[in-house]
Structure 1
Amino acid sequence: MNIRIIQVILDVFDHYGENIRFEEERFEEALNDEAPDLLDECFWIIRGFQTGIYDAMIFDEDIYRNGYVKYLMENIECEEKEAIFIVAVFETVITEISYYFEIPDMLSLLQDAYERQDYPQLAIIAKTYFLGFGVSQDYEKAFEIYSYLYGHGDDCGAYYLGFMYEHGYGIEQDIEKAMMYYHSRQDDLTDYRLGTFYMLGQYFEYDAKKAYEHLSRSHLEEAYLYKGLLLEEQRNFAGAFEAYFEGAQLFQVECLYRAALCLRMGLGVEIDLKKAYHYFEYGYFFMHKESTYQLSMMLFDGLVVEKDEKKALLYLHQAAQLRSRDACLLLGQLYELGRYVKKDHQKSLAYYQVASEILNQSNEKESRENYENI
């Protein structure tokens, strides 16, 4: 499966208009004409569109990726690999297109919900204003509705009130009040937020025990990642792998990558190169640059899969396009030496320069974060 299909879809939408996706035969023909070498990818993408999950992903952000994957596996009888590929491609295309729509008469809906004391509906409207989904983003309006709910005994918006106080969105910044709201309700969001605070030493002193307690209670995808990082920092590699593995079951991209690394290197788990390749490949579907680089290396080495220099180079070039520094450095060396590719000093220099830029940007980001922490 090749992620180049993402650009193919975007090109077809740009040329024919996005509504071509509703004309299945014409859409499939356009995709095949644009990428005759990606017939398998085109086939599965069309099958995915037929299920309607593309539109579901636009409108419902609360469904985990594994929910969509399970739905596809059951409804189009595909393997997990094809299902996660479809979900990953759709997710990227939706992000690139940046869909926007307006909910008509939102103020009337809000007034009606107030009059009926419909707390669940008010919570939905508050989140709509908070995210700017269907209406212009309005933190003040979101704060107003969540405060009303909280004052009437419904603390479902505790996280959002805390977040707005923490960042000064819609209200004057007040860290103490933010912490009060985060501590007032125990759920996936508040525990995740408090766990990262204790782990990163943000607003609190670093406290690994409290960070672990909060992160362990959260079932957010990212909570598994931070829990794994915390355990890895304490050199509890077995615990770290278990956390990454749990996140990988939800297809959290960084967890997929880190679980794969553990499996490849035998960190906290027995070496399993086949499963490592499997997770790196899923990370690649989500355009994770280092997963793409690792796939390339395994193909160059002939680990688990048959050695395939042509495919390895494809992944290596894609990793470089995704701005993997290691991929850029290796391509610079290959073009310099003429290994696997025709010797080309100009291309070699260009890749070395990109690798240098990536390093400088990384150093600048680290310096900026250190300054902000101080």
Structure 2
Amino acid sequence: MRFRHFIAALALALVPATGIAQDHDRAFEAYYAGDYQRAMREWRPLADRGDAVAQYYLGWMYDYGEGVPQDDVEAVRWYRLAAQQGDAYAQSSLGWMYESGEGVAQDEAEAVRWYRMAAMQGNSHAQSNLAQMYLTGRGVQLNDAEALRWYRLAAGQGVADAQYGFGWMLDEGRGVAENDTEAMQWYLLAAEQGLAEAQYALGYMYDEGTGVQQDYAEAMRWYRLAAEQDLVFAKNSIGVLFDEGRGVEEDNAEAVRWYRMAAEEGSVSGQVNLAWMYYVGEGVAQDYTAAAQWFQTAAEQGDADAQLELGVMYDSGRGVARNSAEAARWYQMAAEQGVAEAQYLLGGLYDSGVGVVEDDAEAKRWYRLASEQGHTQAKSQLDKLEGRGTAVDTVVDSLAEALTRMLLCREQNAENCE
């Protein structure tokens, strides 16, 4: 994640204790007064003479278009000059440019190299970014232990993203024994700094009673804070609380409002929830067509439950024209993701030859998969189908045996061979 990471006192501390300091003083004074062009005029001569701090700030100003037209390529040039002189902030920024492919060809391995140089000097934001690279295996081999180590160092320096990342690893038990209580503490530190992801995680823990006593009102409070920063997951979760009356008075219309916001912003869970509200007519007028549209939006993004429900709607002709072949297609997608009900329904289509070519072997396969997950109806249908097969096999075997005896009899010229 990108960090706007310079602070006046720290920046001044980076300046060599020489006469150059006065030039930097004037540049910083202009910069923090918002007079970027004057700051650029003060820093440019210093940067041209090889001053690493000035080079870093020139890179920053080109990066953000402050006092000059925004120019990623020029930003990279100045960051590199400062980074090659060992400036940790420039190394961290150059690492980001390589990670994101801004002003330079994207190269995650090169990003890791620059992050590591800065992190080894104690740069907290580079430490956090390096941890993320280890956690996701980008530019370096995935290594939870290394991710945890760098997150811990950055979190200890107060970096909100690192506090959240460290908390998440404790929450998930990645690279460390799972510890929900300690995870909660780190989420809180990041949430109090305004990090939306941490606010959502904190809300979720209050919602579920994980690492803390369950408290729906607190869950709602943290979800709202995250939602105010447009975190889509939080909007869906607020909808769920209104839908179920947890921590607030049940209000289906308000639930629909939040589900719609989440759905329109791409939340698959929000799309599925909104589809159900249309399907059952809660908080909104019942509308099977709208339900089918939202189920389809979620299904096309790979949501197995939505794929199942869309299949059911094509199977029954609710909200869409009845189409057994289309039902089979959506059942298949959900069934391949392990949804027992979809496996059962798909087995039924193969059993009856509706929407697909009748195929007892395929019917048995899908019934069996559903049955193995405890689906009782699938087990019953599988038993019937296998029983039917056994009866047919018995008849065929008997006929084959009778034919064999008749042919043998005739070969021996015996009488009464029928």
| TM-score greater than 0.5 by the shorter chain | yes
Matched, 1:268 2:205: no
Distance 1:204 1:221, change over 3 A: same
Show CA shifts across 1:210-249 (max 9, x none): 2112112223332223222322231332232222222211
Matched residue of 1:270: which SS?
coil
In the other structure, the counterpart of 2:125 is 189
Show CA shifts across 1:220-279 (max 9, x none): 332223222322231332232222222211121111111111111121222122211100
In the other structure, the counterpart of 2:134 is 198
Matched, 1:243 2:186: yes
Residue pair 1:288, 1:322 contacting (<8 A) in 2 also: no
Matched, 1:315 2:258: yes
Distance 1:231 1:314, change over 3 A: same
Residue pair 2:110, 2:139 contacting (<8 A) in 1 also: no
Distance 1:298 1:207, change over 3 A: same
Matched, 1:159 2:92: yes
Distance 1:304 1:153, change over 3 A: closer
* Distance in 1 of aligned mates of 2:109 and 2:142: 17
In the other structure, the counterpart of 1:353 is 296
Question: 1:176 Cα deviation (Å)?
Answer: 6.6
Matched residue of 1:182: which SS?
helix
In the other structure, the counterpart of 2:163 is 224
One-letter amino acid of the structure 1 residue matched with residue 167 of structure 2: G
In the other structure, the counterpart of 2:320 is none
In the other structure, the counterpart of 1:78 is none
In the other structure, the counterpart of 2:286 is 343
Show CA shifts across 1:32-87 (max 9, x none): xxxxxxxxxxxxxxxxxxxxxxxxxxxx95599xxxxxxxxxxxxxxxxxxxxxxx
* Distance in 2 of aligned mates of 1:352 and 1:277: 26
In the other structure, the counterpart of 1:112 is 45
Kindly report which structure 2 residues correspond to 1:5-44, keeping only aligned pairs within 5 A, or say none: none
One-letter amino acid of the structure 1 residue matched with residue 224 of structure 2: E
One-letter amino acid of the structure 1 residue matched with residue 79 of structure 2: Y
* Distance in 1 of aligned mates of 2:100 and 2:225: 34
Show CA shifts across 1:339-374 (max 9, x none): 3322222212221122223337xxxxxxxxxxxxxx
Residue pair 2:253, 2:282 contacting (<8 A) in 1 also: no
Q: Which runs of 5+ in 2 are unaligned?
A: 8-33, 304-418
The higher radius of gyration belongs to 2
One-letter amino acid of the structure 2 residue matched with residue 186 of structure 1: G
Residue pair 1:102, 1:135 contacting (<8 A) in 2 also: no
* Distance in 2 of aligned mates of 1:319 and 1:259: 19
Show CA shifts across 1:163-217 (max 9, x none): 4456665567777765443333221221012211222223333332221121122
Q: Which has the higher contact order (CA 8 A, sep 6+)?
A: 1
Matched residue of 2:302: which SS?
helix
Kindly report which structure 2 residues correspond to 1:126-137, keeping only aligned pairs within 5 A, or say none: 126-137=59-70
Show CA shifts across 1:88-128 (max 9, x none): xxxxxxxxxxxxx9965887455333368765444322112
In the other structure, the counterpart of 1:305 is 248
Show CA shifts across 1:127-181 (max 9, x none): 1223445534434433333344345554331212334456665567777765443
* Distance in 2 of aligned mates of 1:108 and 1:199: 42
Aligned counterpart in structure 2 of residue 215 of structure 1, from 143, 151, 173: 151
Distance 1:283 1:117, change over 3 A: same
Residue pair 2:254, 2:283 contacting (<8 A) in 1 also: no
Question: 1:281 Cα deviation (Å)?
Answer: 0.8
Residue pair 1:257, 1:280 contacting (<8 A) in 2 also: yes
* Distance in 1 of aligned mates of 2:250 and 2:91: 53
* Distance in 1 of aligned mates of 2:276 and 2:221: 28
Matched residue of 1:359: which SS?
coil
Residue pair 2:245, 2:251 contacting (<8 A) in 1 also: yes
Residue pair 1:248, 1:256 contacting (<8 A) in 2 also: yes
Matched residue of 2:230: which SS?
coil
CA RMSD, 1 decimal = 3.5
In the other structure, the counterpart of 1:289 is 232
Residue pair 2:107, 2:139 contacting (<8 A) in 1 also: no
Matched residue of 1:349: which SS?
helix
In the other structure, the counterpart of 1:334 is 277
Residue pair 2:151, 2:162 contacting (<8 A) in 1 also: yes
In the other structure, the counterpart of 2:75 is 142
Residue pair 1:130, 1:137 contacting (<8 A) in 2 also: yes
Residue pair 1:325, 1:359 contacting (<8 A) in 2 also: no
Distance 1:166 1:315, change over 3 A: closer
Matched residue of 1:196: which SS?
helix
Moved more, 178-187 or 250-259: 178-187
Matched residue of 1:358: which SS?
coil
In the other structure, the counterpart of 2:58 is 125
Matched, 1:259 2:202: yes
Matched residue of 2:295: which SS?
helix
Distance 1:336 1:308, change over 3 A: closer
Residue pair 1:287, 1:322 contacting (<8 A) in 2 also: no
Question: 1:291 Cα deviation (Å)?
Answer: 0.9
* Distance in 2 of aligned mates of 1:175 and 1:164: 10
One-letter amino acid of the structure 1 residue matched with residue 253 of structure 2: K
